[in-house]
Amino acid sequence: MLDYAKATGLRTDDNPARWRGHLSNALPARGKVAPVQHHAALPWQEMGPFMAALQSQPGMGARALAFAILTAARSGEVLGARWSEIDMDAALWTVPPTRMKAKREHRVPLTSAALATLVDVARLRLTDAPDAYVFPGTSPGKGLSNMTMSAVLRRMKRGKLTVHGFRSCFKDWAAELTAYPGELSEAALAHVVGDKVEAAYRRGDLFDKRRDMMAAWATFCSRPYARPMGTLVTLRAG
């Protein structure tokens, strides 16, 4: 507000609340006095049993949560999804820039499991309007509440988890159990990688490679994790 007042001629003095070159010399950095709080996430090793339990949950909120996990999408992107963004034949979900955090179009490859979820909710469609919500709420013309998926977690006795934390779970799985490069999982999460110069030269979205990775993620989510056995060594007496 003070910066705006100066820019519009309502005041002439410098902003006394300016951080860079002013308060930064007198106060500690915010990260030192307020540690970063990460979203509570399910350990990636537990994804198989969790997804099996989720599939048994009734309701649109459970289907939306499963879709969010399988696509590694943000909750807002899922809750705001319209049928016009979905191409079932091409197994593709195209999120427009207006609904993305980075304001860039995001193409999401849909696995067979994600498509099966869409088939389930499509049976409940009350209108063929292309702009209808994929995951409609109880009020006509409205999507699900942003608390609906959290309510599913509480119903499953998993209330300490966060919906956003499943994106971290996906990232941890990709980093710790697969050989997929980090830039691939970052692209799946719709994160902006690199500076503006690198972004200007990186025109592709690694879509075909991401399709393979998301298929591997869906397969991993469909079964219990079997920890690799160590190498057996035969000991000989004498």
Q: What is the pLDDT of residue 21?
A: 63
Is there a domain that residue 227 lies in? no
Looking at the fold, whether 54 and 12 belong to one and the same domain comes out as no
Domain containing 21 equals 2-33
Looking at the fold, whether 18 and 98 belong to one and the same domain comes out as no
Is there a domain that residue 139 lies in? yes
Please identify which of the residues 32, 103, 196, 201 carries the catalytic annotation.
Answer: 201
Please identify which of the residues 63, 106, 133, 167 carries the catalytic annotation.
Answer: 167
Looking at the fold, whether 204 and 153 belong to one and the same domain comes out as yes
Tell me, yes or no, if 39 is annotated catalytic. no
CA distance 137 to 133: 8
Looking at the fold, whether 25 and 60 belong to one and the same domain comes out as no
What's the whole-number average pLDDT of the chain?
86
Q: Please give the tally of structural domains in the chain.
A: 2
Please identify which of the residues 155, 158, 164, 209 carries the catalytic annotation.
Answer: 164
Is there a domain that residue 231 lies in? no
At 102, is the pLDDT very low, low, confident or very high (cuts 50, 70, 90)?
A: confident
Is there a domain that residue 96 lies in? yes
CA distance 102 to 106: 9
CA distance 50 to 58: 15
Alpha carbon 182 to its chain centroid, in Å, reads: 15
Q: What is the pLDDT of residue 36?
A: 43
Tell me, yes or no, if 11 is annotated catalytic. no
Is there a domain that residue 179 lies in? yes
Tell me, yes or no, if 74 is annotated catalytic. yes
Tell me, yes or no, if 38 is annotated catalytic. no
CATH number at residue 108: 1.10.443.10
Looking at the fold, whether 119 and 198 belong to one and the same domain comes out as yes
Looking at the fold, whether 53 and 25 belong to one and the same domain comes out as no
Angle CA 106–110–115, to nearest 5? 135
Q: What is the pTM of this model?
A: 0.79
Q: What is the pLDDT of residue 199?
A: 52
Instruction: Give 109's strand partners.
Output: 92
Looking at the fold, whether 22 and 80 belong to one and the same domain comes out as no
Structure-model confidence comparison of residues 9 and 111, the more confident one:
111
pLDDT in tens, 220-235: 999 998 776 555 555 5
Looking at residues 184-213, what average pLDDT do you find? 78
Tell me, yes or no, if 103 is annotated catalytic. no
Element (H, E) at 173: helix 165-177
pLDDT in tens, 50-83: 999 999 999 999 999 999 999 999 999 999 999 9
Please identify which of the residues 101, 125, 154, 223 carries the catalytic annotation.
Answer: 101
Is there a domain that residue 177 lies in? yes
Tell me, yes or no, if 106 is annotated catalytic. no
Looking at the fold, whether 56 and 114 belong to one and the same domain comes out as yes
